[in-house]
Structure 1
Amino acid sequence: MKLKIASFKEPKHTGAVVCVSWNNTEDVFSCGDDHKLLKWNLANSECLTVTTFSEDFFPTGMHLFPKINVSSNKHQHDVILISTADGKFHVVNHNGRIEKTVSAHQGACLTAQWSPDGAGLLTAGEDGFVKVWSRNGLLRSTVIQSDTPCYCAIWSPDSSAILYTRGNALVIKYLNNSSKITKWKAHESLILCVAWNANNNLILSGAEDGFFKIWDTFGQQVSVSVKHDQPITSVSWAPSGDLFVVGSYNLIRLCNSNGWSHCLDRPSTGSIYNIGWSADGTQLTAACANSQVLFAHIIEREYTWKNYSCTQTGRKVIFIKDILTDQSDELDFPDRVIQIALEFNHLVVATIKQCFIHKLNSWNTPVTFDLKEGTISMILLAERCICIVERAGISIYSYMGRLLASPRWGARPETVGRAAISLGPDSLAAIDQADRKTIHVFELPTGLVVRSSTDNTAFKITHKMTVSHIALSQTGPINERLLALLDYNRDLYVVSVKENKPKFLKLGSQILSITWSAETELLVGLRANSVVAWCCPKASTQPDWLTLTTVSKEIADLGRNPTLINVEEGVAHICRGNGSLMHVSLVPFPEKLLKHIAAGMWSDALQLCRTVEDETLWACLAVLSWQHHQLAVAEEAFTLIRQYHQVCYIQHLRSSTPEKPFSNENVKVH
């Protein structure tokens, strides 16, 4: 993955560009020391001068009104908030006319930002004050009074707190509790820029000491960069929270959310004062000291699934290859590609106007349908359906392009991260963004076209702790659908989504990442120095059985914050803390055994266990055959794992009740 950087041959500004902001996925506003407000259109490479302000108008920051209700008047959101060096902030409409000017600070007003919900705005200045204002520019409160300049202040993702800088320290001030403050020393010198992401709830800071650092909301350091030669002048999270970009003098760096670098470019731009991401997370723009506005988009994103590999090689071009047959092709699309998903024998590509569904055995004949809006933040795939997360809402489609459901639970789709939503073959689960202890589960139709959210069967599951990560199992009937969840204590639980009174069964603790196998009910979790596989998560009702069917494998040098990518054929694919990939083989043939049992092939399952002679496989066979009432198989399996009390009980049952026959053939028990 890397950035493809472009700029106009001749700068359109005549002074340093101080701030940039996206209007939509194709339009950018920029403002600089030449007093001009320019509008850039990336689709046709045009630059228009919206207005020229007065000679004493020197901007320090700019922020467009957040796009909350996209169905309303399109010009309602083209409202620009600009802070200036004379201590004022200005509300400017889309035509460049100043609607309101407010004197906010003594000295320069260094930053101004709309709240994420659009209910108000904040400003911070050289006088050390941080103030909250109404949308109409009326002062609500002076939140902070300090004797040192506040160079940066931003809202929390839920508008309940303000993060601001105080010298080399970061401070979080909670508005609903006037006494609650979280403060920590973040850098050795002056902090110049901060960013707070809504999806991962992590804070990014850059300072004059040449370091950028990642923090959680408790002030604990998640990652720290190498020392740069120059101060870090700008930082910005991608909306999805999986990437961020850092700007410095003649430097722009694209990084993963763990802090390791994807690419480093050294354009001759001078200092990069401000960086903004487009809403779809595929493009960015930067305000540069040499009068240029820099544009970049992400290319060479790579996706793999089994023997298929897919790479985005250009804005509209994708290269796909079957590694086994060496068959390859280059797919050209009419519009810019913004999201790609490769799984379950399908390649799904979303452009700014349409969605293309390719079958991997015939990828040149896609199914297409139009999108509601060209701002897609995520595509999730399951065996029978597709989930598309747009700013306009969340939609479920079949692989034939038919709309199946439009689940609603009051969340803003752009704030829903990958850890907070999970798609199964017949259900969708999502964490409530207002109350993160609550999980909404929607039962999805499999064939009928459903266009109203009221037609979806929805119910809630409430956990005792705040939930950070959820994952639905991908196999079996919906009555046996399991939901795995991680809470903020890093404890792992599973719960059946169809129970009237859900019972949370604890599987383990200190789990960093989880994933289900796409083909079986194998659940894999990652600890700081080991990978754990629960072959029979339903056995958690019996602690002894759970221990027998769980395998843990020690791994060294995983680094900080490793993540599980997926599990295929019993092999866990892990991304280490430094970005490198690792492949770890779990117990021998675990998924093959589970596939045999799911298909009712008990004789094949027995033969596999007798051949491999692994105690964990025998334990899995014992537990599953007991759950499926296959007493003959269960008796042999429990005998070989020395669970003699269970063997005696099975013998008692077999002698007193008629035995249920196998689904395929009788098995001779040794």
Structure 2
Amino acid sequence: MHLFPKTNISSNKHQNDVILIACADGKFHIVNNNGRIEKTVNAHQGACLATQWSPDGAGLLTAGEDGFIKIWSRNGLLRSTVIQSDVPCYGAIWSPDSNAILYTKSNTLIIKSLNSNSKINKWKAHEGIILCVAWNANNNLILSGSEDGYSKIWDSFGQQISVSVKHDQPITSVSWSPAGDMYIIGSYNLIRLCNANGWSHCLDRPSTGSIYSIAWSSDGTQLAAACANGHVLFAHIIDREYTWKNYVCTQTGRKVVSIKDLLTDQNDQLDYPDRVIQIALGFNHLVIATVKQCFIHKLTSWNTPVTFDLKEGTISMILLAERCICVIERAGISVYSYMGRLLATPRCGSRPETLGRAAVSLGPDSFAMVDQADRKSSQVLSITWSADTELLVGLRASSVVAWCCARAATQPDWLALTTISKDISDLGRNPSIVSIVDGIVCICRGNGSLLHLSLAPFPEKLLKHVASNMWQEALQLCRTVEDETLWACLAVLAWQYNQLAVAEEAFALIHQYYQVCYIQHLRVCTSDESFSPVFK
């Protein structure tokens, strides 16, 4: 059973509220929101074991006991039979971009692109038959469960990210949360919640028999599970904890959030009229998003929050910066002030709700995002702005990169001069950047341990001097350190802020003589104090 995905391909809401149901007799049904069967198709010989709408809503696929995988139009007309196998196919799903299909064949996982020129990617994933698979759009990771009792996480190239402990019974269902930060596995009388790296958060043993299917709500706060005894389990994610300096915030109930000051040992409890979806704590503010509204609390005053209505109830992420907040939902990306005023609506090529937390970051006055359309070219696993300055840090497979002057992105040669890279190993699979403070980068390894790396302390100090308009102190820092990258940062920043004397000295010391001559030409040719040079 699969509900039609929420897309913008049709303005008729009821036309999109349709359910796809696979049956043991080989048929699938398309049912509308009133429960009426709109279409019945005889798809397979034997049971129809898997069915799913494509993420873009343009079609659907079915997999059967006969080993066939077929693609159908949205109205149930056969387009093609993409796979003909001699063994039953227990799992088949679309890729996040709807351009490929992941399916199981005994103990093997296979990714088949719908582009005829692309090569098939297949690998042995388990020792037993694979019973269930899931593919997340945010982290682009694949989750599989098998009769051997293991669940495993893979990237789209077939490299193993993590493997679970061995369970006593086969894994019968797996499901990623929409944000990709957690997943659920189901087995016989067992349901387990894990984080994206495979660490177990919670384990429950309901007397329900095998759990055959698990589905998350679109906001990632609730889930439902279909059980062998005919029951349906419902669960809500609570006890999420957030920290900032001496404050700890914990969601203790569906509509209840508690906040504690560790210095004064003061506890406060905040109740909300609707279910809490997202929480963000930082920069002296606590931001709570419910189904309908967003509440902005100051840490000094809990009783008078700023509120504004949300465009849609499905929020995937809230990002905080010193002067603004960013709300990412299905309707788009919105940047607000802490007074609740809409400041900007950045555009992105992909669906906003598919952006993972590692792929976006909000700076003091900038928004950075990893290009989701071409993951192979970017090779950036995680990006984060510094908490205090415009220092942007990115994490690659075996190195950490700091773009000390991200504004120089329009000038490739200047960007190269202001970039610091440091090789690093033993990060494990799926690492991420936690924070950047005073040029010290905190990285979470694949095994959950934290690594603190001194990457750009002097550029961070320089950026603070420039933000405070302390140009002489910035010059003194560069003269003391005598580092070419630091001089390059000062040169670019001074040029942007029209500090020609400082820029001339800095460009000379990094051997950018054409720029020095240009600055000297400007200083000679004009005495107009209002003159502002163009970013060259």
User: TM-score with structure 1 length normalisation?
Assistant: 0.68
Say which SS state the counterpart of residue 109 (structure 2) adopts.
strand
Report what 1:517 is aligned to: 386
Within a 5 Å distance, the mapping from 1:17-96 to structure 2 comes to 62-69=1-8, 72-96=11-35
Report what 1:186 is aligned to: 125
- 1:221 positional shift: 2.4
Q: After superposition, what is the alpha-carbon deviation per residue over 1:517-543, rounded to whole angstroms, capped at 9, x for unaligned?
A: 132233334455665545456789898
Contact preservation (8 Å) 2:30, 2:39: yes
- 1:350 positional shift: 0.5
Report what 2:440 is aligned to: 571
Task: Give the 3 Å change call, closer, same or farther, for CA 418–528 of structure 1 in structure 2.
Answer: closer
Matched residues in 2 for 1:305 and 1:407: separation?
Answer: 27
Report what 2:42 is aligned to: 103
Contact preservation (8 Å) 1:625, 1:631: no
Report what 2:529 is aligned to: none
Task: Give the 3 Å change call, closer, same or farther, for CA 306–586 of structure 1 in structure 2.
Answer: farther
Contact preservation (8 Å) 1:385, 1:399: yes
Q: Aligned AA for 2:446?
A: G
Report what 1:133 is aligned to: 72
Is 1:200 the equivalent of 2:66? no
Within a 5 Å distance, the mapping from 1:407-422 to structure 2 comes to 407=346, 411-422=350-361
Q: Which of 543-552 and 405-414 deviates more?
A: 543-552
Report what 1:293 is aligned to: 232
Task: Give the 3 Å change call, closer, same or farther, for CA 531–428 of structure 1 in structure 2.
Answer: closer
- 1:224 positional shift: 2.4
- Could you tell me which runs of 5 or more consecutive residues in structure 2 were left unpaired when the two chains were aligned: 525-536
Is 1:620 the equivalent of 2:457? no
Matched residues in 2 for 1:545 and 1:140: separation?
Answer: 48
Say which SS state the counterpart of residue 81 (structure 1) adopts.
strand
Say which SS state the counterpart of residue 429 (structure 2) adopts.
coil
Matched residues in 2 for 1:345 and 1:222: separation?
Answer: 36
Q: Aligned AA for 1:364?
A: N
Report what 1:330 is aligned to: 269
Q: Aligned AA for 2:138?
A: N
Is 1:220 the equivalent of 2:159? yes
Contact preservation (8 Å) 1:153, 1:164: yes
Within a 5 Å distance, the mapping from 1:594-605 to structure 2 comes to 594-605=463-474
Say which SS state the counterpart of residue 187 (structure 1) adopts.
coil
Within a 5 Å distance, the mapping from 1:139-538 to structure 2 comes to 139-177=78-116, 180-407=119-346, 411-424=350-363, 426=365, 428=367, 436=373, 466=374, 468=375, 488=377, 490=379, 512-526=381-395, 531=400, 533=402, 535=404
Task: Give the 3 Å change call, closer, same or farther, for CA 644–376 of structure 1 in structure 2.
Answer: closer
Structure with the bigger RCO (C-alpha within 8 Å, sep 6+) is: 1
Matched residues in 1 for 2:150 and 2:45: separation?
Answer: 30
Q: After superposition, what is the alpha-carbon deviation per residue over 1:263-285, rounded to whole angstroms, capped at 9, x for unaligned?
A: 33333332111110110011111
- 1:151 positional shift: 0.9
Contact preservation (8 Å) 1:539, 1:623: no
- 1:427 positional shift: 5.4
- 1:631 positional shift: 9.0
Contact preservation (8 Å) 1:375, 1:390: yes
Q: After superposition, what is the alpha-carbon deviation per residue over 1:345-379, rounded to whole angstroms, capped at 9, x for unaligned?
A: 32211101111011233233111122232211122
Percent identity between the aligned chains? Answer: 74
Q: Aligned AA for 1:571?
A: I
Tell me the C-alpha RMSD between the 2 structures. Answer: 3.8
Contact preservation (8 Å) 2:2, 2:51: yes
Identify the match of residue 429 of structure 2 among 557, 560, 585: 560
Task: Give the 3 Å change call, closer, same or farther, for CA 360–615 of structure 1 in structure 2.
Answer: farther
User: TM-score with structure 2 length normalisation?
Assistant: 0.84
Q: After superposition, what is the alpha-carbon deviation per residue over 1:497-554, rounded to whole angstroms, capped at 9, x for unaligned?
A: xxxxxxxxxxxxxx643322132233334455665545456789898997898474x7
Report what 2:530 is aligned to: none
- Could you tell me which runs of 5 or more consecutive residues in structure 1 were left unpaired when the two chains were aligned: 1-61, 437-465, 469-486, 491-510, 659-670
- 1:569 positional shift: 2.7
Contact preservation (8 Å) 2:465, 2:471: yes
Task: Give the 3 Å change call, closer, same or farther, for CA 584–261 of structure 1 in structure 2.
Answer: farther
Say which SS state the counterpart of residue 488 (structure 1) adopts.
helix
Say which SS state the counterpart of residue 237 (structure 2) adopts.
strand
Q: Aligned AA for 1:488?
A: S
Task: Give the 3 Å change call, closer, same or farther, for CA 567–144 of structure 1 in structure 2.
Answer: same
Contact preservation (8 Å) 1:605, 1:621: no
Matched residues in 1 for 2:154 and 2:84: separation?
Answer: 24
Contact preservation (8 Å) 2:128, 2:148: yes
Q: Aligned AA for 1:600?
A: N
Q: Aligned AA for 1:104?
A: A
Say which SS state the counterpart of residue 76 (structure 1) adopts.
helix
Q: Aligned AA for 1:523?
A: L
Matched residues in 2 for 1:349 and 1:249: separation?
Answer: 37
Report what 2:57 is aligned to: 118
Matched residues in 2 for 1:549 and 1:152: separation?
Answer: 45
Say which SS state the counterpart of residue 198 (structure 1) adopts.
coil
- 1:580 positional shift: 3.2
Q: Aligned AA for 1:217?
A: S
Matched residues in 2 for 1:593 and 1:430: separation?
Answer: 24
Matched residues in 2 for 1:229 and 1:332: separation?
Answer: 41
Matched residues in 1 for 2:212 and 2:106: separation?
Answer: 19
Matched residues in 2 for 1:238 and 1:524: separation?
Answer: 27
